[in-house]
Amino acid sequence: MGKIGAAFSLFQAGFILAREGVISAIPAEVMPPAAKIGHALAGLIARRRSKNVEQSERLSIALNKLGPSWVKLGQFLATRPDVIGTQIATDLEMLQDRMKPFETRLARQTLENSLGRNVDDVFTSLDEPIAAASIAQVHKAVIKKTGETVAVKVIRPGVRARFIRDLVTFDTAARLQEKYLPASRRLKPVAVTQMLSQSARIEMDLRLEAAALSEMAENIKDDPGFRVPQVNWELTGRDCLVLEWIEGIKFNDTKTLVENGHNLVQLAETLMQSFLRHTLRDGFFHADMHPGNLFVDHNGIIVAVDLGITGRLGKKERRFLAEILYGFITRNYLRVAQVHFEAGYVPHHHDVNSFAQAIRAIGEPIHGQSAKTISMANMLTLLFEVTELFDMETRTELLLLQKTMVVVEGVARTLDSDFNMWKVAEPVVSHWIASNLGPAGVLTDAAVGMKSITRIASQLPVFAERAERLSVAMDDMAENGMRFSEQTADQIGKSEAWHGRWGRRALWVIALTAITAVYMQYFS
């Protein structure tokens, strides 16, 4: 889809948002004059019934009409109050990725195309869909060969083409935002959109989700109270994923959890500590941990499904994260500020002590409040507001982490209204710091460094040979000048000729415009 198609899609999206009363619900006082005109027009276009609907519901209706990729975008933006404002972010938190299921006959066709076999030869039964989202839907089935009950996840027909078209539209909107709204550039809307695009593309290849499940299963095999379903690799392909069927209670069904004797406080602690353990220890975490993706089996173990969206952090980012969290827990705000500077999150022309003062303004209220009022979402909102004063740019590698941390804390609070994230996080964070930043961690880093040095040393003959060739080439260039191949010279000539033709045409347009202006001035 070209620029014209993207522009048309943006216009179409704007019309639907206006029609559902989303634009007219935004306060006009904060808008520039040109935007106020558009706001007034949107009010005229809005349906009459939309004025009687809550703003959050208007937004949900509009995004669902725009399609699955817009629903994904809305869910993603719900965790970015720094980008879209606190009120809109709160409204988007209500948005759920629930789509109308597609027909089972279409799912059977997709399965047969992916497996290369007739569905009836593989499964004894394939039930109607039990859950449907924007990218795929899930069926319960029984494998004919083994009699095992499984969950079969099938890609929604035509979803890839739709996503690709919409992602081009998102990219166009982000580039226009960066170009015409300089204040938004530190938020890196283009980089954020590209990250969202990459995440969606990965999510639409179910082989990659199977690989993620396999990797996480290896990482957490010795962890208490948390696991993921086993993958049936023989029946898994790009468009279908076959998993162990999970018999359990959903996290949002607290009444049934209590009736079955499960400890809600313990489940909340296990969920948060598991997430932090995966993030800090493994650098690999489930990035879509909403209640619909979390079950509790009969043994009281949390089972996380739908690993289509995952996040990764390198060793350096994990160290920064651990030190920032530990600094807030121990009220060492100067260290929190220093870590932001060491990581390059805050430009060095700012004063670290002034930034530490700003961090203290966020941290101290946390320690002075009850557990019920301490919120990671609120803290991140305050942090975004403060870091804007210090020119801190959006870190795209941390976006999924921030999003998931807010979601996990919210899920934990539904189980335990007195949930204190900082108290629950302390054992995991302090253990990681002791293991990785203490003497043992120093020795491990030294061993890794020695391996890197050894590997570089083994490549020294190759480097020396390349350096010698470079030296000869530079001597030749100094004596004979820079030379291009015939193909390169021909391409440069064509390019210059093309620019020359368009330059002459531009001059003719300017000249004709000037002549017309003079004519209109003297002869009208």
Cα separation, 452 vs 475, in Å, equals 33
Cα separation, 239 vs 136, in Å, equals 9
Q: Is 282 a catalytic residue?
A: no
Cα separation, 85 vs 55, in Å, equals 14
Longest Cα separation, the chain:
93
Characterise 505 by phi-psi region: left (phi > 0), alpha (psi -120 to 50), beta (else). Answer: alpha
Task: Provide the 3-class DSSP secondary structure of residue 8.
Answer: helix
Cα separation, 438 vs 10, in Å, equals 53
Cα separation, 159 vs 67, in Å, equals 10
Q: Which residue has the tokens 């890196």?
A: 188
Among 57, 55, 53, which residue's Cα sits nearest to residue 65? 57
Cα separation, 496 vs 209, in Å, equals 48
β-pairing verdict for 310-312 and 284-286: antiparallel
- Which of 82, 91, 97, 288 is the catalytic position? 288
With a CB cutoff of 8 Å and minimum separation 6, the contacts of 185 are: 178
Cα separation, 284 vs 304, in Å, equals 14
Task: Give the start-end residues of each E strand in 93-244.
Answer: 123-132, 136-143, 149-155, 226-227, 240-244
Among 182, 191, 181, which residue's Cα sits nearest to residue 80? 191
User: Which two tokens mark 396?
Assistant: 């795209």
Yes or no: say if 382 and 349 are a contact pair by the CB < 8 Å rule. no
Among 78, 317, 316, 310, which residue's Cα sits nearest to residue 198? 310
The set of long-range contacts for 109-116, using a CB threshold of 8 Å and a minimum separation of 24, is 110/154, 110/155, 110/157, 110/239, 110/240, 111/152, 111/154, 111/239, 111/240, 113/239, 114/237, 114/238, 114/239, 114/240, 115/235, 115/237, 115/240
Catalytic sites, residue numbers: 288
